[in-house]
Amino acid sequence: MSMSGLAAASIVPTRLLVLQPTGFCNINCRYCYLADRQARRKMRTSTVRALGRFLGTIQVAEKPLTVSWHAGEPLTAGRDFYESAFSILAESPDCPPLRHTIQTNATLINNQWCELFTRWGVHVSVSLDGPAHIHDRERRDTGNRGTYARALAGFESLLKHDITVSTIGVLTYYAMQFPDEIFRFWRSIGVRSVAIIAEEADGANRVSSLSRVDAGSRYYGFLRRLLELRDQYPEIHIRELEFVEQALRCAPGLEVASMENTPGAIISVDTEGNISTFSPELLDQGHQSYGNFTWGNVNNHTWDEVVGHEKFIGVAKDIRLGVDRCRAECGFYVVCGGGAPSNKISENGTFISTDTVACRLRIMTATEAVLDHYGL
């Protein structure tokens, strides 16, 4: 089945490949969006080989293509898995060159993991919410014990091996009280590239602590203080602030595009080889109107077959209609490019919608904080 002219024209070269080596996680964060994170499935060698062939059917925006091994706790797949998977993909005649990154809670990292990361040039992003009283409040293991000490030990092992490392932290209602403490924590551990994700109602996390009526004002104050602190210590790069600043610097009339609502920009593949695009969080979700959000499998399909799938075309159309509504109705569209489909479907029950709690915080409030900080 061929796509309509509008849908076909919107498919873009891939900028990010998100791979789920396993859905299993060795800890049990309160705000996790994965519903089945105790399932011990692992990607098979045959699926990795098929993935290499499948990647030969896509267009990439640039080489090497960035690969994020994500979802569950990737390191629970084991070092042998990555030694094999990296080798298979590197030797595949169809696969484009890859740049591997891993998003990890770092609790399993040791010298052997660091040696593997060094040998393959892997960039590592560690999930650290802040100092212990913030991190351990949400990131606890299945025995309800805090994971801060183990995560920090893993992070420090990465630094000792001179591995490029960044951090991602989830910002909850509680954590927003401590901008100074969180910033001091970043400086104390020697990280220079950080991300702060405002807690979202997404997937299995049905209700965010930031759904409270005063969350917007609290988040605004948190960001204004971070901006002041960053003025003093500009070596700390905060992704969410730099995203807004870059968007505001764009030439007038230049439309900002979001990878999450642009088909093909991000391709996600789960443990069994099922293929999705748009927001990576959709990979593990389903909906009564759409079914699941996978439209092919690397073992059996090419990318052209995925984007020709009838259900994919329906989803792509509705996501585009939602983006069009954002463009027509929201003054912040020039910053975000239309919002994340996973947030819209989780919060509003439909892709054909506009604002969510996530975009009111991450985009609207963040933009207001940046504009006010610079007196604009």
Q: What is the 3-state secondary structure (H, E, C) of 284-339?
A: HCEECCCEECCCCECCCCCHHHHHCCHHHHHHHHHHHHHHHHHHHHCCCHHHHCCC
Residue 2, pLDDT score: 43
Q: Which helix (H) or strand (E) holds 232?
A: helix 215-232
Q: Is residue 370 part of a domain?
A: no
Q: Is residue 111 part of a domain?
A: yes
Range of the domain at 195: 16-249
Residue 236, pLDDT score: 97
> Can you list the residues of the chain whose pLDDT is less than 50?
1-6, 9
Give the CB-side neighbour count of residue 178, counting CA atoms within 13 A. Answer: 18
Structure tokens at 345: 């479907």
Number of domains in the chain: 1
Q: Is residue 108 part of a domain?
A: yes
Residue 41, pLDDT score: 85
Kindly report the CATH number assigned to the domain that includes residue 106: 3.20.20.70
Q: Which residues contact 210 (CB under 8 A, 6 or more apart)?
A: 171, 172, 173, 198, 199, 219, 357, 361
The identity of residue 264, as a single letter, is G
CA distance readout (Å), 112 to 73, 105, 223: 17, 16, 38
**d(C-alpha 203, C-alpha 201), whole Å:** 7
Q: Is residue 309 part of a domain?
A: no
Q: Which residue has the tokens 């999705």?
A: 276
**d(C-alpha 331, C-alpha 217), whole Å:** 19
Q: Is residue 281 part of a domain?
A: no
pTM of the model: 0.92
The identity of residue 212, as a single letter, is R
Give the pairing type, strands 193-198 and 237-238.
parallel
Q: Is residue 265 part of a domain?
A: no
Nearest Cα to Cα of residue 297 among 309, 281, 285: 309
Q: Is residue 105 part of a domain?
A: yes
Residues 35/71, Cβ–Cβ less than 8 Å: no
Residue 328, pLDDT score: 95
Residue 1, pLDDT score: 36
Q: Is residue 92 part of a domain?
A: yes
**d(C-alpha 194, C-alpha 243), whole Å:** 12
**SS3 per-residue string spanning 30-81:** CCCCCCCCCCCCECCHHHHHHHHHHHCCCCECCCCEEEEECCCCHHHHCHHH
Residue 178, pLDDT score: 98
Contacts by residues 231-235 (CB-CB < 8 Å, ≥ 24 positions apart) = 233/183, 233/187, 235/192
Residue 251, pLDDT score: 62
Q: Which helix (H) or strand (E) holds 248?
A: helix 239-249
